[in-house]
Each structure stands twice: as C-alpha cells, then as structure tokens.
Structure 1
C-alpha cells in the first residue's frame, strides 16, 4: 500500500497566498523606506539594516513562488533558511559594530 500524500488544493493556497502577498507588500514598503534612509544618511548601519530588510523581502517573494509552484519545496527551505541566517548575521553585526559602547571607534564608523 503506497504512503498517503497530502496535497493542498487551490482552496488552501488562496488564503496562504493572500497572507504572503500582504507580507511581501509590507516588507517591500519597509525595504524602500530603509533604502531611502540609507541614501539620506549614507552611514553603514543604515545600509546593513536595509540589506537585512531586503533579505526578508526576498524571503517573502520566495514564499509566494513556492505557493504558486514556481519554487520547489527543497529550494524554498534552503533559500528561506539561508536568508534567515543572513538576516540574523547582518543585524547582529550591526548591533555589535554600531551600538553605543561597541568595539568600533567613532573614527572607524
């Protein structure tokens, strides 16, 4: 007897796609705001935050591609978890380097 496989029908994909679409729009707007802030300030910490938010936006796009059947599930997991790691590394680096009392001196910023 073959193992039972569960597939999601169109009915299940529509609400998920709606949530991902809203998340993508919100994250995209936040990414644009962070890029504008970086362009105005021209400081590395603003660029790092913009990069981290950009990675979150790409993650949402990958999620939408998975629901639409454009990104296979193994690729989705690899890309999404890699972007999670990248986001965490960027944010932690920004905090480590640019927080008050950090190891970087004012001249190096």
Structure 2
C-alpha cells in the first residue's frame, strides 16, 4: 500500500512539473523580442496581412512591399496608416533599416 501511495504521489508531482514547464514554454513562445528592443505581447495583436495589404495597395512593387511590411509588422506589431508616410505613428516600424542603411519598412 505504501508503494502505491508513493507511486501516485510521484506521478502527480511529475504531471504538475510537466504542466508548469509547458506553460512556461508557451508564454516564452508567445512573446517575441524584436531586434530593435521592442516587445510583442499577447495583448498587442494586429492582422499584419490586412494592414500590409492596405499599406501596399498602391505600391509599384507589391510583392516586395508585402514581404517587407509583413516582417516589420510582425516585429513591431504596428503598421502606419495610409499608403505612405505617417512613420511617426510607429517609431519601431520607422527606425528599422536594411544592411545598407536604407529604411526597411514601406
């Protein structure tokens, strides 16, 4: 009887330990730290596809615009309104640059 109680107690403790680890990993995977020091939390979700479609609708190179905008949106959780300009609304979006020093986000 003592062995079964010890077995069940260790089984329950191991189950709780696994649940705590999984919860910790889920929280860590939901929070993405961007290279610009920004932070994307669960509370700040944005539909990047729709925002970038609106942002790139007048672009002469829509595929390039969508790809760059999607990357910037994912990292910053923000896309400035309109088809161009308004960079001051999203400082993270505005401050991202390419390796060549040019502005990354459309």
TM-score by length of 2: 0.30
Instruction: Point out the structure with the larger helix share.
Output: 1
Q: Which has the higher contact order (CA 8 A, sep 6+)?
A: 1
Larger radius of gyration: 2
TM-score by length of 1: 0.29
